[in-house]
Every structure is written in C-alpha cells, then in structure tokens.
Chains A and B, each alone.
Chain A
Amino acid sequence: MHMADALLSPAVSAAMTVVSVGALGYSAVMLKKEEERGVPLGADDRKVPVMGVMGAFVFAAQMINFTIPATGSSGHIGGGILLAAMLGPHAAFLTLAAVLVIQCLFFADGGLMALGCNIFNMGFYACFAAYPLIFKPIMKLGLGAKNITAASVASVVAGLQLGAFSVVLETLASGVTELPFGTFLLLMMPIHLAIGAIEGVITAGVLCFVMNMRPELLDFSAPGGFGPRKAALSFGRTLMVLLTMAALIGGGLSLYASAYPDGLEWSIEKTAPSSELERTGGAYDTAAKIQESTAIMPDYEFKSAAGGDTGSSFAAAGTSAAGLAGGTMTLVLACAVGWIITMFRKNKREKDNAAA
C-alpha cells in the first residue's frame, strides 16, 4: 500500500507532509507527557531502545509474506495495531514513521515525496483511529483470546480500509491517473479487506501468544507494559485530533482542488464537460494566473485543451510532438553521456588495478 511519488502532485505531497509532521510532533509531545506522569522507575528511558528494536522487528516480521487465497497476490503485516498494542499509540506511530522512512530511503518502498502520505495512511489510522476507537473499546469487555481476536481483526481491517481509501483520495486529488474513483475504490478496498483479515488474524495470534507468555508487556493489559499507564488518549481527545486532522487535510485538499479542477472535481467534470467552459472570472482566473507564474504545479492548460473538442486537442498535440522529439533527443544524449562516463571509469579502474 506504499504510495509512489509518480502518482502524486507536489501540492498533495506537501499537504500530507505537513499533516504527518504535525501528527509526529503531537505524538512526541504526548510521549514526553506520558513519561512525566510518573512511570515506574527506569521505565521511562527504556522506551528508547524498545522503540528502536521494535521498529527493526516490524521489518523482520514483514519479511514473512502470506498469500491471499484466490487472488494469487501476497501481503505482509503492516504492524500498526501490533505496535500500538505493545507500545501504546504514540510510541507506535513514531516507530512506524521511522520504519517508513527507512523503507523509503533504503528499499524504494514508497517515494521520498510520498513519505507524508505513507506515514499518514499506514501509521495514523492504525494508531490514532483504529486502536483507540476500535481495539481498546473491545478489549474493555475483558482480556481474552476471543476479544483479542475480534479487536485485532476489526481494528486492522478498519485501519487498512481507511488507509486504502486515503490512497485513492490522494491519487485522485493529485490528478495524475485517469482511474475513476469508483473503479479505483473497487480495486483497492477488497484486496485490502483480504490482507486486513489475514493480518488481523496474525496480529491476534501474536497478541494471544504474548498474553500467554508475558502479559505484562501488553499496552492494553496495564499495569505494566511500555505504554501509558492509563489510557492517555480519551475518546473525546481522539475525536478532536481526528477532526483537526480531517479539517487540515480537507482544507488543504479542497484549496488545491478548487484552484485546479483536478482529481475528484475532474472526475465530476468528465461527466459534465461543460463545467470547464462556465468557469470564468473570479477565483479560477486568479488561480490560472498563479499557476502560470508557478510552474511547479501540474500543467493544466494543456489538459483543458484536450478536454475540449478534438480539433484543439490535435493542435495542442502538435506542440507536444515537437516537445517529445526534443525530449527524446535529450534522452539519447543522457544515455550516451552515461555510457561514456561508465566506460571512462571502467578503463580507469582497470588501469588502477593493473598498476596495483
């Protein structure tokens, strides 16, 4: 479910980065507060190595792939709920963020610009929505294998579904693909339902195992464990955070979407092509001007031309074909330069080796 750079526009990527950095800051502050609220002696600074090693554990656990029946595709655990159940939601979120940064840098899982999206999609929902709103309430009914299983499956599935839904929204808001909302949703949700069900079962298995072996380690079976002593995250507080986040994202995205009729709005536009023509004056003109001056935004003029009648589409295509030819020439140049430098360095290395 790692979002890729190629499917994102800079604006969506920036908005999600801001949101994720905000959530990280919030977690760090909350973690600090938990520590100050008198955890047993020595347990406060223990979190540093525990979080670090648990991050590495997530990697190791993710190397175990499971196949999803009847689809032929495979998945692995995301580990969000598992971490939250062991470390508490704040520490879990920070730990997952570190995991995602390492995956992005060293494994090409998700891009650099998509980091904000990925931290949000895979960390935020699991730690700050599914865990406090689904997992913990179910566990309040009593500690036992049945409840753990129900809580794990429900919260993992919910977290993954929210994450998958976000991927769809982010992709559409970026307006890079033509995938219609419904189709994309139909592609993403069922597969993540299946992955979520299996991950939920595995998570439940792991938590039951831990409950039998070392129950004091679990966040939700306090006292003990590495998590906060009391449920530091009350329902109301969680809701507040969620709403703030939703407002932030909604605000960021709608601002973007209204300035550039891309993504969601674009899919509406497809069904009513005339909307583009009616959009004159006011905000749209200003936005178009801004867009012209800031070349960093996705090039829209061209698309609106293509969205019109076929004649103008071909007119636009003429310039594009010329551009394509020029581009191809630079590609050939790039290959040549790369090849020449490679050969040059190879020769040099061979000479060095001969000399040595």
Chain B
Amino acid sequence: MRRPDSAFSAFKPERVSGLKALELMAEGDTVIHRVHTFVKLTATIVYVVVVISFGRYDIGGLLPYFLYPAILTPLSDTPWRAVWRRLLPALPFPLLGGVSNIIFDKAPMIMIGGVALTGGVISFASIMIKALLSVWAVLLLVATTGVSELSRQLSALGVPDAAIVQFNLTYRYLAVLADEARAMYESYILRSADIRGIRVRDMGAFVGTLLLRSIDRAERVYAAMKCRGFSGSYLAPAHGARGKIGAPDLLCLFAVCAAIIILRCLS
C-alpha cells in the first residue's frame, strides 16, 4: 500500500546509457565518419537552417529534404533503431505547438480524393516534419563525429579554450556522476519499503549529497590537474584540426550545400 505522503520522484538513468551507444557509433569507420568535421558541421547547420526556413504550408518543399538523412543514415551505419529512439523524446513539444494549428486553422486548403485538408493539418504536418528532420540531422552529426573531434573543430573555428574545456569536463563527468546518483538512488530505494521514488522532503538531502560529492570530486580533479602543471590558463583538448581540410572535403561541402540551397530555391 502506498503511503499518503509518497509524492515521489522517478529516476531516469537511461539517457546516459544512450550516450554510450552514441559514442560507439561515433567510433565507426565509414565514408561519412571520414568526412572532415568542418564539412559535417557546416552541412548540418545549413541543412537545419534551410529546413526551418520553409513556410508553414510548404510540405511539398520540405519532403525532398528527407533524402539527406535517408542517404546519410545507412551510409554511416547509424542504426535505424537509434534514430527512432532519439526522435521520440524530441517530438512532444513540437507536437504541442503543432496540434493547435489543427484546432485554430480550419480553412480548407487542399482537396485530396474528395477530402479537404485544412491549413492547420498541413502546417501541423510541416512542423512535425521539421522537428523530425532537424533532430535527425544533429543525430547524424554526433553519431559520426566523436566528442573530442567535435571540440577540436570548434576550437579550430575560434571557440575560446575556456568554453571547450568546460564542454569537455561536463561531458566527461556526466556518466560518472550519473552512476553515482544511480548508486545512491538504489540504496535509497532498497531501504524505503514501499516507496516508488524519492520523497520530495528527502530530495534536499539526496540532491545535496550528490552536490557535495560532485564538489569533492571537482577538488580531486583540480588536484590532479595541478599536479600536472595546470596553472589556470585554459587548454583546449586539441589545438588544430585532425588534418588539413582537403580538396575532396571542400568539394563535398560545396556539393551538399549547393544541393540543399538549390532545392530550397526551386520550391
């Protein structure tokens, strides 16, 4: 029987295990993995900007953009299951924003087989397609490019070292602290007979303990850094990109961006 005060909180560690799957994918070695990071980063940004630039009723123009992920996903050996898993959690918010269109925009717009589609249905579909494509494109970027490779590229593009180090440290300790939180959560659950989560009144101590442990860890990391000559000036994990960007890479970048932009102009 549940106690009346069992306002509880659930623990969701599965997000971090997804991270490991992503790292495994990024270690692959396909044509797409070998493309220069600059090319992938630029192409992703151009692609997403163009996708979200479409008008709200322009599904016809949007659909051809499925070609990009449809080609890159199998070419980069990114499992379709991973795509699906990643897309699902990203859709609810656009869904919330989009459903209203169906409700508020009831002017019929297209007749298909005698059924009139309202403007709302069409703009709803276009929002969902945009959501799908933009999330998919970012997934393809990180599934084919490792974290250190990505930060290397960002550093080469002039992102300050401080930001790169911050990004890397956060990423590095994410799974470590998540693991710590999981262990704490399990020991809490095992000792609280019929509670399904952490009681809100225990949350302060629970999260507080996690916080103090994190600070202690930061102190130890700081000591380890100091012992290896760290003196406060930031050092990006890698100076200079992996290799010089070659002619084939530039050609590839040009071709992809041209295709993306020409398609946009045609529609």
Contact = CB atoms under 8 A, between A and B. Distances in A.
Is there a direct interface between A and B, measured as CB atoms under 8 Å apart in the complex?
Answer: yes
Interface of A: 2-10, 13, 24, 28, 35, 44-46, 48-57, 59-61, 63-67, 69, 74, 77, 82, 86, 94-95, 98-99, 101-102, 104-109, 111-113, 171, 175-180, 183-184, 187, 198, 201-202, 204-210, 213-214, 217, 295-300, 302-303, 306, 310, 313-314, 316-317, 320-328, 330-331, 333-335, 337-338, 341-342, 344-345
Contacts of A7: 93-94, 97, 127
A302 B218 contact: no
B109 A306 contact: yes
B204 interface: yes
B167 interface: yes
Given A64-B203, A206-B211, 11 more contacts: A49-B225, A66-B197, A98-B166, A205-B207, A206-B207, A209-B209, A214-B212, A299-B55, A302-B55, A302-B58, A327-B61
Contacts of B198: 64
Interface string B112-125: 10000001101100
Contacts of B162: 28, 48, 94
A314 B108 CA distance: 8
A95 B107 CA distance: 46
B177 A53 contact: yes
A55 B110 contact: no
Q: Which 6 A-B pairs have the closest CB atoms?
A: A205-B204, A52-B169, A323-B60, A299-B55, A209-B208, A45-B232
Contact of B166 (A95, A179, A302): A95
B237 to A, nearest CB: 12
Contacts of B90: 4, 108-109, 111
Nearest to A300: B55
Contacts of B138: 104-105, 108, 111-112
Contact of A335 (B18, B70, B204, B217): B70
25 contacts: A3-B93, A5-B51, A45-B222, A50-B219, A52-B170, A53-B214, A54-B215, A56-B177, A60-B177, A66-B8, A66-B197, A108-B90, A111-B48, A177-B127, A202-B200, A209-B209, A302-B55, A313-B107, A317-B108, A317-B110, A323-B59, A326-B60, A327-B60, A328-B60, A330-B64
A303 B56 contact: yes
Given A67-B8, A98-B166, A177-B127, A296 B204 contact: no
Contacts of A324: 59-60, 63, 110
Given A49-B169, A202-B200, A321 B59 contact: no
Contacts of B111: 317, 321
Contacts of A217: 212, 215
Name the prevailing secondary structure of the B interface residues.
helix
B176 interface: yes
Contact of B104 (A61, A179, A313): A179
A63 B267 CA distance: 43
B170 A67 contact: no
Interface in B139-163: 139, 141-142, 150, 160, 162-163
B97 A56 contact: no
Given A111-B48, A178-B105, A213-B208, A48 B232 contact: yes
